[in-house]
Amino acid sequence: MVTHQKSVCVYIDNTLSWNIHCNKTFSKINSKIAFFKRIQLYLSDEMKRLYYNEYILPITEWCCALSGHECETKARMFKLRSRIARIILNPREKEAMYLFQQLNWLTFSHRYKYHVAVLVFKFLNGLALIYINDLITLSSNERYQLRSITKTNLRTIPKPKTNILIKVFSYTTCKVWNELPVAVRSTYVSTFQRNLKQYLLK
């Protein structure tokens, strides 16, 4: 019996727990951090930030919109990103959230919300891949012009009764998008991304 399957750089398991994918991701990040620590003395502050942006950040965001809602993933990623922030800033006993603010980083939970919201925005503006149309549905009503329609909310999905269904993309995506302020949603792509990041940083 096949328990998981690799597709490009993503490991999908038969329970949608993303444990295998996350473990592979954390292993790769740890190896990058180990190398980063060895060369940090030879890098300027700017080069350290570039190293993170080019060699570590892309790994943390593989399949982030699907696996980023996992509580265990958030906790482990928080610790790893804290280690990276300390390498870059070399602080004296500072809280991790303070370091993230200094680096203007979103937390991993907020990066997950960022990617989900950008994906929905592209869907609403006809910029997403076609198969996304089968996963996301706008709120609609033939008789009344409800606020959820004018705000371009997604159709509300009843909370699933099992842990597996709670992790389904359609449910988690609806929850993230409908919580965003309308002012953040109604802009062009580049402006939307900038406003969304500013909103999440607050």
141-190 pLDDT per residue, tens: 444 444 444 456 776 666 666 666 666 777 778 888 888 888 888 777 88
Contact present, 20 and 10 (Cβ < 8 Å): no
* pLDDT average, residue stretch 40-67: 86
Mind listing the pLDDT tens digit for each residue in 58-70?
A: 888 877 766 666 6
Structure confidence at residue 158 (pLDDT): 62
Confidence band for 1, pLDDT divided at 50, 70 and 90:
low
Residue 22 binned pLDDT confidence (cut-offs 50, 70, 90):
confident
Q: Residue 27 pLDDT more than 80?
A: yes
pTM beyond cutoff 0.85: no
Among residues 90, 89, 91, 36, the alpha carbon closest in space to that of 59 is found at 36
Mean pLDDT of the chain: 79
- Inform me whether the pLDDT recorded for 39 exceeds 60: yes
Tell me the pLDDT tens digit for each residue of 124-143: 888 777 777 776 766 654 44
C-alpha to C-alpha distance for 16 and 172, rounded to whole angstroms:
13
Q: Tell me the mean pLDDT in the region 98-113.
A: 88
DSSP string, 108-157: HHHHHHHHHHHHHHHHHTT-S-GGGGGT--B---SS---HHHHTTPBPP-
Query: At which residue do the structure tokens 């359609």 appear?
Result: 170
pLDDT recorded at residue 145: 46
Phi, psi of 43 (to 5 degrees): -115, 140
**What is the amino acid identity at position 11?**
Y
pLDDT of residue 162: 67
pLDDT-above-70 percentage for the chain = 75
Tell me, what amino acid is at 70? E
State the pairing for strand pair 4-7/10-13: antiparallel
Q: Is the pLDDT of residue 32 over 90?
A: yes
